[in-house]
Amino acid sequence: MTVQTVTPKRRFRGKPRGRELDPARLEGLRELLGDERRDAALRRRDLLIEHLHVIQDARGHLALADLRALATYMNLPMAAVYETATFYAHFDVVHDDQVAPPALTIRVCDSLSCQLAGAEALRAELEAGLDAEAVRVLRAPCMGRCDTAPVVEVGHRHLGRADAARVRAAIEADETHPEAIDWQRLEAYRCEGGFELLQACHDGEVTVEALMEAMQQANLRGLGGAGFPTFKKWHFVRQEAGPRYCAINADEGEPGTFKDRYYLERAPHRFLEGALVSAWAVEAEALYIYLRDEYPGLHAVLAEAIAELEAARLVAPGYIVVRRGAGAYICGEESAMIESLEGKPGKPRHRPPFVAQKGLFDRPTLVNNVETVYWIPLIWQRGGEAFSSQGRHGRVGLRSFSVSGRVKRPGVYLAPAGITLEELIEEHCGGMAEGHRLAAYLPGGASGGILPASKADIPLDFDTLQEHGCFIGSAAVMVLSDQDDLRAVATNLLAFFADESCGQCTPCRVGTEKMLTLLEGDEWDAEVLTRLSQVMMDASICGLGQAAPNPVLGLLKDFRGELAAQNVIVKG
């Protein structure tokens, strides 16, 4: 008997797996973004987030069909495009079976300062009083305007000290674009000596060594939160082989922080000169500025200011690159910012290597904060001693404090390093708000911990607060009074961290959610909370998970009596 072997025919699908590309969508992208067939640079991976912004701005959302077309346009896997688009809060990805969001979005800030000012009730009133089919109302994290809480963003226009009537008026008047900013133009800045330092650097009249010595003498440190000496950071980057890059982190998302916006809106050219001097100091191939998307007015300001510099031939066209964030607090962490600049989800990198060794495009990268570079031209003009001679209680230098909460005059105040909270409130903020008595304060924003009124005499500076379980960070001082609910404060802060965790590491992703759940109960188990805090601090990849427990630990340490009075039982 003969057995015949039958070879099965190969089965072909006849079409690619997954959803089919809509050719009309691809042509639409070419009209919107440019023809990638004629300009291959449009396919660069680091432009992905910029392309997503253009589509979102034009369409009001990101349809899945557009993401499929974008994947083809950029020659990227659809998974990479989708992962990036869904990582950031400001991108609205709409699936094929979903309805696009309303044309107008209203964001109500729910950060601690805005919560204290009644943001929750305002959000509820807006939700109840507006047509949900025409307007959607969303919660939003800190918008960097804590001194005018509560804050509402109508489209792209921010309303400070907002109420429902003002929001409705803005909608009816179609006032949805950023308000104009009155900023110092190039000519005015040059009249006061602007860009003389940069010119002297390029002419060889100022050496890098002399500049580093001035920064050291002034005790200029990283003012984004880490406090690392600026001259040392320059030195480490310069030690690495080129090509090198310089990146400025203007993504100040720490709740309570708004000093960088304050300086950028008033003197962008001073910031740009300091940034360009920093780039010169490390011989950077290009200067990147990562600006948070919550500052839409500043995007226009920087574009105009850079155009002025290019027209005046103070910088080569294209040397300064401004990139938009997309609503992710984690991108304030330097390696997460680098990932975002490369067009990826902003997830912190494991270290080493550090970004000074392998940063943007895997090249050595100098990362500085906005305020840090803002001071460089002034330090050179006035001399390092003019800054180092400032300070109180044995501290050296100046600090820009973003003050919000229960004070009469919230705002940005330049004060001596080492000033105490008592002195800051009385000398700069006009005292406590009427009818409020100081009960507690956060010296460094949401992540900087919390201290009681009895410790309002501690000098506020780097290295002075660690023994109390706190740190100054970006000097975002949030003031609480005897009328504030401490459990609501704790849950507000932990809800923020839980929402903003990038999800990369389990201790942070799960730990913040678990801690929030524990805090929402009427009974707090101090032993469990402390143990969970330790795991988060020891095992989280970056500072978000490591610092998230700080306010909780502070409450357990110094506020048990106050918690009990507010019907929160702390056991253990």
Cβ neighbours for 262, distance < 8 A, ≥ 6 positions apart? 400, 402, 412
- DSSP states along 471-530: --TTTEEEEEETTS-HHHHHHHHHHHHHHH--S-SHHHHHHHHHHHHHHTSSEEEHHHHH
> Are the beta carbons of 571 and 483 closer than 8 angstroms?
no
Distance CA 504, CA 512 (A): 13
DSSP of 545-557: HHHTTHHHHHHHH
Angle (deg, nearest 10), helices 259-266 and 268-281: 100
- Burial track 399-433 (b if 16+ CB lie within 10 A, e otherwise): bbbbbbbbbeebbbbebbbbbbbebbbeebbeebb
Q: Give CB contacts under 8 A, 24+ apart, made by 183-189.
A: 183/265, 183/266, 183/267, 183/268, 183/301, 183/305, 184/266, 184/267, 184/268, 184/269, 184/270, 185/269, 185/308, 186/269, 186/305, 186/308, 186/309, 186/312, 189/267, 189/269, 189/270, 189/273
Q: Where are the alpha helices (DSSP H) in 240-365?
A: 259-266, 268-281, 296-311, 334-341
**DSSP letter (8 states) at residue 248:** E
In degrees and rounded to multiples of 5, residue 535 shows phi and psi of -60, -45
The H or E element spanning position 534 is: helix 526-539
The CA-atom distances, in angstroms, between 167 and each of 151, 273, 402 are: 10, 38, 26
Q: Measure the CA–CA gap between 47 and 312, rounded to whole angstroms.
A: 27
Is there a contact between 449 and 478 (Cβ–Cβ < 8 Å)?
no
Report pLDDT for 227. Answer: 87
For residue 6, what pLDDT is reported? Answer: 61
* CA-based R_g, the chain, Å: 25
- Dihedrals φ, ψ of 44, to 5°? -55, 135
Q: Which amino acid is at 421?
A: L
Q: Please give the structure tokens belonging to residue 376.
A: 């460089």
Q: pLDDT 10s per residue in the chain (572 long)?
A: 555 666 666 665 556 566 789 999 999 999 999 999 999 999 999 999 999 999 999 999 999 999 999 999 999 999 999 999 999 999 999 999 999 999 999 999 999 999 999 999 999 999 999 999 999 999 999 999 999 999 999 999 999 999 999 999 999 999 999 999 999 999 999 999 999 999 999 999 999 999 999 999 999 999 988 889 999 999 999 999 999 999 999 999 999 999 999 999 999 999 999 999 999 999 999 999 999 999 999 999 999 999 999 999 999 999 999 999 999 999 999 999 999 999 999 999 999 999 999 999 999 999 999 999 999 999 999 999 999 999 999 999 999 999 999 999 999 999 999 999 999 999 999 999 999 999 999 999 999 999 999 999 999 999 999 999 999 999 999 999 999 999 999 999 999 999 999 999 999 999 999 999 999 999 999 999 999 999 999 999 999 999 999 999 999 999 999 999 999 999 98
Strand ranges (DSSP E) for 103-155? 104-109, 135-140, 152-154
Closest CA to 162 of 145, 177, 174: 145
Report the pLDDT value the prediction gives residue 225, as an integer from 0 to 100: 84
Query: What single string gives the DSSP state of each residue in 320-334?
Result: EEEEE--S-GGGGSH
What is the separation of C-alpha 384 from the centre of its chain, rounded to a whole number of angstroms? 29
